[in-house]
C-alpha cells in the first residue's frame, strides 16, 4: 500500500520536498550538536531540560489522543468513526516517532542509547517510558496497517488484529501516565510534584491529539475526494471541547491549591509563569495567551452554530492545539525548573540550532504523517468510488 504515497500531484511533491529541506537543515544542525555538544542549545545547569523534552512531552500527549477515536469505534461500535480511526492511529505513529527522535537528540551520549536496554532499571520511569512508547508505536503500526489493508480489500478486519486494538486502549493511557510519572515523582520540583499531573496530562492529550486530527481532516476534505463525515468531525470536536474544559479545570485546581495555601514553594512557579517574578518573566506573554486562546477555543467548539461552520471548527481546533502546546510544550517543563532548588531564577532562551533541530523533527513527523495519510486517503477514495 505504500506505493500509493509515491503518486501525487505537484503540490504533494512540493510539500514533501519542502519537508525534506527542513529535515536536511535540522540534520546539519544535529551534526553540529554532535560535534560540539548540547552546549549549543539554550539549556543550562539550572534549566537542564528544554525545547527537546518539552516537545517530547507534548507529542506523547498527541499520540495518546488517538484513543479518543478507538474507544468509541471498537468498544462502543460507534460506526461514524469507522472511516477515521485509522487516521488517528497514523497520527499516533507520527507522534511517537517524533517523541523518540526528541529523546535521541536530547541525550548527552546518544551512542550509549542502548544502555537503557542493556541495563534495565525497573525503578526508573524512563525505563518504562521506553517500553511503552516503543510498544505503542508497534501497536499502532499493526492495527493501522492491517485495518487499512482489510478496508482496501473490502473485507472485515481480521480477527487476530482485534486483541491488539483492545490492547492499544489501556496502552495509550499508559504512555501518557508514565510520561507524567517522569515529572510527578520528583521531590525537589514543587511545580511538578502533584497527583493531578497524570490526569492533567491525559486531559490535555485528549484535547491536543484529536484537535490536530480534525484540522488535518478538514484540510483533507477540502483537497481530496475523501469525506470523513460531518457527524464524525462534530463528535470529535465535542470530545476535544470537553477534554479541554477538564484540562483548564485541572489547571484551575493547581492555582487554587497554590494560592489558597499560600505556600511560597507552590506559588512560585505559577507566579513566574503568569505574572513574572522581579525582572524575570519572559514566558508571561505565552502563558497568558494560552489562557485566552484556550478559552476562545473552548467557546468556539462548545457553541454548535459556530462549531458547525468548517472554518470556525478549524479555528477552534487550532486554538486548542496552540493552547495545549503552550501549556505543555512551553510552560510545564521550563516552569518546573524555575525557581531552581536554591530558589533562584535562571531564564531559558532556546538557541537557533536548537530550534532548527526541533523544527526538523516536527518536519519528520509531518513527513511520516503525509505519507501515511496519502496511503489512507487513497484507500478511502477507492472505497468511495466503489
- In the beta sheet, which residues pair with residue 280? 277
Cell 534495565 belongs to 120
* Closer of 124 and 282 to other proteins (Cβ): 124
* Closer of 217 and 354 to other proteins (Cβ): 354
The grid coordinates of residue 14 equal: 512540493
Q: How far is the CB of 107 from other proteins (least distance, A)?
A: 5
* Closer of 82 and 355 to other proteins (Cβ): 355
Q: How far is the CB of 118 from other proteins (least distance, A)?
A: 8
* Closer of 31 and 75 to other proteins (Cβ): 31
Residues 346 and 340: beta-carbon distance below 8 Å? yes
Q: How far is the CB of 44 from other proteins (least distance, A)?
A: 4
Residues 359 and 52: beta-carbon distance below 8 Å? no
Phi-psi map region of 278: left, alpha, beta (phi>0 left; psi -120 to 50 alpha)? left
Q: How far is the CB of 187 from other proteins (least distance, A)?
A: 4
Q: How far is the CB of 39 from other proteins (least distance, A)?
A: 4
* Closer of 58 and 321 to other proteins (Cβ): 58
SS3 312: helix
What count of other Cβ atoms lies within 10 Å of the Cβ of residue 107?
A: 14
Q: How far is the CB of 104 from other proteins (least distance, A)?
A: 10
Query: Rule CB under 8 A: which residues touch other proteins?
Result: 36-39, 41, 43-46, 48-49, 103, 106-110, 112-113, 115-116, 118-119, 121, 123-127, 130, 182, 185-189, 265, 336-337, 340-344, 346
* Closer of 7 and 112 to other proteins (Cβ): 112
Q: How far is the CB of 113 from other proteins (least distance, A)?
A: 6
Q: How far is the CB of 164 from other proteins (least distance, A)?
A: 17
Cell 479545570 belongs to 249
* Closer of 125 and 167 to other proteins (Cβ): 125
Widest pairwise Cα distance in the chain: 67
* Closer of 24 and 110 to other proteins (Cβ): 110
Q: How far is the CB of 228 from other proteins (least distance, A)?
A: 30
Q: How far is the CB of 119 from other proteins (least distance, A)?
A: 5
What count of other Cβ atoms lies within 10 Å of the Cβ of residue 359?
A: 17
* Closer of 103 and 214 to other proteins (Cβ): 103
Of 269, 289, 266, 286, the C-alpha closest to 277 is 269
Q: Within 13 Å, how many C-alpha atoms sit on residue 181's CB side?
A: 15
SS3 280: strand
What count of other Cβ atoms lies within 10 Å of the Cβ of residue 305?
A: 7
* Closer of 45 and 385 to other proteins (Cβ): 45
Between CA 12 and CA 86 the distance in angstroms is 21
Cell 526528541 belongs to 102
Phi, psi angles (nearest 5°) of residue 280 = -100, 120
SS3 349: coil
End-to-end CA distance of the chain, in Å? 18
Query: Helices in the chain by DSSP H: which ranges?
Result: 10-36, 51-64, 67-70, 76, 85-106, 115-118, 125-153, 161-184, 197-223, 230-261, 264-274, 284-302, 304-307, 310-324, 333-336, 352-385
Amino acid at each position: 500500500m505504500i506505493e500509493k504515497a509515491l503518486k501525487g500531484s505537484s503540490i504533494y511533491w512540493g510539500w514533501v520536498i519542502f519537508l525534506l529541506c527542513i529535515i536536511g537543515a535540522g540534520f546539519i544542525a544535529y551534526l553540529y550538536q554532535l560535534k560540539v555538544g548540547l552546549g549549543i542549545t539554550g539549556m543550562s545547569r539550572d534549566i537542564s531540560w528544554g525545547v527537546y523534552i518539552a516537545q517530547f512531552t507534548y507529542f506523547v500527549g498527541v499520540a495518546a489522543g488517538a484513543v479518543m477515536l478507538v474507544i468509541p469505534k471498537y468498544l462502543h461500535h460507534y460506526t461514524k468513526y469507522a472511516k477515521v480511526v485509522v487516521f488517528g492511529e497514523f497520527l499516533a505513529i507520527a507522534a511517537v516517532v517524533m517523541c523518540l527522535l526528541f529523546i535521541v537528540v536530547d541525550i548527552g551520549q546518544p551512542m550509549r542509547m542502548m544502555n537503557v536496554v542493556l541495563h534495565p532499571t525497573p525503578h526508573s520511569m524512563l525505563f518504562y517510558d521506553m517500553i511503552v512508547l516503543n510498544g505503542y508505536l508497534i501497536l499502532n503500526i499493526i492495527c493501522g496497517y492491517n485495518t487499512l489493508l482489510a478496508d482496501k480489500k473490502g473485507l472485515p478486519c481480521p480477527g487476530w488484529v482485534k486483541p491488539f486494538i483492545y490492547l492499544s486502549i489501556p496502552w495509550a493511557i499508559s504512555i501518557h501516565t508514565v510520561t507524567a510519572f517522569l515529572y510527578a515523582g520528583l521531590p525537589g520540583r514543587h511545580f511538578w510534584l502533584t497527583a493531578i499531573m497524570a490526569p492533567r496530562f491525559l486531559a490535555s492529550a485528549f484535547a491536543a491529539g484529536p484537535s490536530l486530527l480534525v484540522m488535518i481532516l478538514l484540510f483533507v476534505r477540502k483537497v481530496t475526494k475523501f469525506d470523513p463525515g460531518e457527524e464524525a468531525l462534530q463528535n470529535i470536536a465535542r470530545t476535544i471541547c470537553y477534554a479541554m474544559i477538564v484540562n483548564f479545570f485541572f489547571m484551575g485546581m493547581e492555582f487554587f491549591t497554590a494560592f489558597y495555601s499560600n505556600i511560597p514553594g507552590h506559588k512560585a512557579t505559577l507566579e513566574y509563569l503568569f505574572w513574572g517574578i522581579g525582572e524575570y518573566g519572559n514566558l508571561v506573554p505565552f502563558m497568558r495567551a494560552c489562557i485566552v486562546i484556550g478559552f476562545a477555543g473552548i467557546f468556539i467548539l462548545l457553541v454548535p452554530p459556530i462549531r458547525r461552520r468548517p472554518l470556525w471548527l478549524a479555528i477552534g481546533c487550532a486554538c486548542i492545539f496552540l493552547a495545549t502546546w503552550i501549556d505543555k510544550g512551553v510552560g510545564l517543563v521550563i516552569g518546573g525548573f524555575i525557581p531552581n532548588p536554591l530558589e533562584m531564577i535562571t531564564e531559558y532562551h532556546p538557541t537557533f540550532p536548537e530550534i532548527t533541530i526541533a523544527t526538523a523533527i516536527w518536519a519528520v513527523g509531518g513527513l511520516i504523517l503525509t505519507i501515511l495519510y496519502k496511503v489512507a486517503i487513497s484507500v478511502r477514495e477507492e472505497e468511495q468510488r466503489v
